[in-house]
Copies of this chain bind each other. A is one copy, B any other.
Amino acid sequence: MTAKAIFYHAGCPVCVAAEDNVAKAIDSSRYTVEVVHLGNDKSRIGEAEAAGVKSVPALVLDGAPFHINFGASLSDLK
């Protein structure tokens, strides 16, 4: 049984660095990591907002949002 981790990004350089380092450092034996590009998949912006995500890159772990550095505001992706 693995917990769910969702990494939201928008392809920005800050996002790529966070994905290559933080998202890839997550223990895949304990977490299933889904990577969502909100610039390409705008239909999921609402779900990210509902989880408390304000900007990307962000990691949602067990439903709790963790913003990692700052790439872009969610409002700029709409």
Contact = CB atoms under 8 A, between A and B. Distances in A.
Interface residues of A, number: 22
Nearest to A18: B66
Q: How many copies does the complex hold?
A: 2
Contacts of A12: none
A66 B22 contact: yes
A73 to B, nearest CB: 15
Contacts of A21: 61-62, 64, 66
Interface string A63-76: 01111111000000
Nearest to A70: B67
Interface of A: 5, 17-18, 21-22, 25-31, 59, 61-62, 64-70
